[in-house]
Structure 1
């Protein structure tokens, strides 16, 4: 039977918590000081320790000074308020989660349902690490390069905790796969994993999609709708392209992260949520803040544990492994196995992959379809040209460079940006809006790459979905303009 130890100097609070835990079928012991806690830990190692940091004879964190004392116990902090500092402290100390006073029964049940002995979790990570050399993968991630092994170490460190993770990296590097791997290694693995692309949802609908809405809350709301927070209850909610979320909605998301409560559109009563948030962006977070795409307070709240994914060009040694993996999966789907020639693998490993792993997967699929025999040669594979390298993280580093003209031409209508000054550059007159400048850069980059949308998206540091959304909006605006 699972055994829990409550360490709290508030006798009444500890007694109430003890009764709630006992109702869930666990055995419970209480300690009201560090001294009592050490005695209880020595008598019977608990599966779960609920630890208040403020104790009469010291801080609860003092228990972590002896690593053997809590070696076989999960630790959940009890805090009077949720804060970024508490989350960071929980991670640093080795705690897996925290509860906010007054203790909510739903959150407590969630914590109790996720109890896994640390030894079990460590064994799972050890198996994945041990098999990495032979299998070439860690969870759903593939690659043996030092850059990826660093990512695996970070995943192993954070997966077992309940803290928020912020994944950064260029488009196509596999941010959602990292989030899925974290979820599958976490204590929430039996509950839903829900991935949401914030850039693929209409700004008019995104609040309703994330938080849900009540029947009759707006035109067309003919029934109650559960949002992502409700559908991912007890599990993990992955918010991809978080910088595409409207600023007013970022404020509401921050409130949910701080209070654990959300409000459906049209509702008057808030609801509690027990969801782990993993966010991602293909922008530099600080640059996104500077450009107004991400609130600074939300950035710090999300960035408790950052993971930065390397672009594929920085781990080209993984390309043959990834290509063979994609080819095997395609062969299983199509019912016919094919293989790469040595020359083909060499060409794949020499290419810079501006679209990263996503571009590699698409290139392998195309080569599989075009190859008439069972061996894929170099004919249908991408190869390096003489154009400059394409860094895809930040728009300001893309190969289309903006040159500022001295003034807006009085002949130029508002909303229009004229002319490419030379190949690979575009002129942006002073006084135009950021939206106009963005449109000019996107359209010029698209033309620069011969209307190849994947390369364009990679160069601009945005997802393919975001690029399609932008182009669709520009076409709509063009169509609605004066004839």
Structure 2
């Protein structure tokens, strides 16, 4: 049985919380001041400390400054309102979570169900770092380059807290893997991890998918449908491509983050939810706000702890590890092992990788299928447009100046030196202008969808959805 210490100067509130805690199988002690809390902790080390911020003899945060006293106790702050400042305050102080007063039984149940000694989380992070040194892997992520090590340090720091995480990076860099690793290292690991791509759901259905709907709330709603927030209760909800969410729905998402409640479509009864949100975008969030794609207040609420993933071209040192992992996966699935030749590896190192790690996996899969023998050569691997032009020039007897390998590794991936211009008359409906731009960009890149998505700054899923809407 766990032991909880409730540090609350309101006697009635402390007594009510002690009863709720006892109902969850914990023994409970109460303290009405910092001094009394210190005496209680010296007598018995609690598994969890429910700590009010405003106490008669000072701010509750002062208790967190005494590392020897806190020891291996999990600290949960109690505050009168949820805000961005509260999230940051909790993170900086080392608190695992925070409760909104007046504390509801459901809120408290969720907190107590996730109680885990900080030493356990520290041991798991230490184990992951050991794996990184041995195998080059950190959870679901692969790579030992300096940019990735920095990402791992951020994940290790934020996973054990409750704060919202915003992952940015180009399409194909592994944003969902970061979200899953955060979840797997968190106290919510035993609860669901659900991922939703906000750009892959029809604007007419996305509210129903995220918040759920009541039977009969609209044509075709033949039964009650629980949404992602309801199904992810107690766990983590990954909102990918958040900048693709319609603005009117962003307002409702902001309300959930601030109040912990939402309404199903067609209902007037609020539902409490206990979900940690990890959001992601392949766009620059500040630019998305400037372009009107994202509400500024929502960005502030989501961007409590930003993690930026590097593109593959900036972590080419990780290429051998990634190639080895993907080839091992293919060998397990296909029942036959294949290796890559040095020349083929050199080709991979010279490529721009506009589709990043996802494109690397796809390229290796295609080469694996097309290679009859045990060695994958450069024959079926992708080349940059400059390399294709140079090869065509050599075949035609035209001298072409070679492009240095380092430049190839870092340069952008234009289809031609001077992209054509697209003229759209003023007053063109936004949807029609978007369609013209997408189709023209697709044509410019020779119907290469990953290059098109990278150039447009959207996910590959979003591009496929748009092309499907256009009948392509």
TM superposition score category, shorter chain reference: over 0.9
Corresponding residue for residue 391 of structure 2: none
Deviations for 1:344-364, whole angstroms, at most 9, x for unmatched residues? 222212222110000000001
Corresponding residue for residue 427 of structure 1: 422
Corresponding residue for residue 92 of structure 2: 92
The structure that is helix-richer by fraction is 2
Measured in 1, the distance between the counterparts of 2:296 and 2:424 equals 29
Corresponding residue for residue 53 of structure 2: 53
Farther-moved stretch of structure 1 (204-213 vs 64-73):
64-73
Deviations for 1:48-69, whole angstroms, at most 9, x for unmatched residues? 0111110111101111222222
Number of aligned residue pairs: give it. 452
Secondary structure of the corresponding residue to residue 292 of structure 1:
coil
Deviation at 1:22?
A: 1.1
- Mapping of 1:296-375 within 5 angstroms? 296-375=296-375
Secondary structure of the corresponding residue to residue 179 of structure 1:
helix
Corresponding residue for residue 131 of structure 1: 131
For structure 2, the residue ranges without an aligned partner over 5 or more in a row are 388-406
Deviation at 1:261?
A: 0.5
Conserved? CA contact 1:400–1:445, under 8 Å: no
Measured in 1, the distance between the counterparts of 2:415 and 2:299 equals 28
Corresponding residue for residue 39 of structure 2: 39
Measured in 2, the distance between the counterparts of 1:228 and 1:205 equals 13
Measured in 2, the distance between the counterparts of 1:37 and 1:264 equals 42
Deviation at 1:429?
A: 4.8
Conserved? CA contact 2:354–2:413, under 8 Å: no
Deviation at 1:464?
A: 1.1
For structure 1, the residue ranges without an aligned partner over 5 or more in a row are 402-421, 477-483
Conserved? CA contact 2:78–2:101, under 8 Å: yes
Corresponding residue for residue 187 of structure 2: 187
Measured in 1, the distance between the counterparts of 2:410 and 2:229 equals 35
Measured in 2, the distance between the counterparts of 1:374 and 1:38 equals 67
TM-score, normalised to structure 1, is 0.90
- Mapping of 1:404-419 within 5 angstroms? none
Measured in 1, the distance between the counterparts of 2:98 and 2:234 equals 14
Measured in 2, the distance between the counterparts of 1:182 and 1:50 equals 24
Conserved? CA contact 1:50–1:78, under 8 Å: yes
1:471 aligns with 2:472: no
Measured in 1, the distance between the counterparts of 2:444 and 2:424 equals 20
Secondary structure of the corresponding residue to residue 50 of structure 1:
strand
Measured in 1, the distance between the counterparts of 2:349 and 2:29 equals 59
- Of 437, 445, 452 in structure 1, the residue corresponding to residue 448 of structure 2 is 452
Measured in 1, the distance between the counterparts of 2:43 and 2:117 equals 18
Conserved? CA contact 2:235–2:275, under 8 Å: yes
Corresponding residue for residue 272 of structure 1: 272
Deviation at 1:390?
A: 10
Measured in 2, the distance between the counterparts of 1:206 and 1:113 equals 30
TM-score, normalised to structure 2, is 0.92
Deviation at 1:443?
A: 2.1
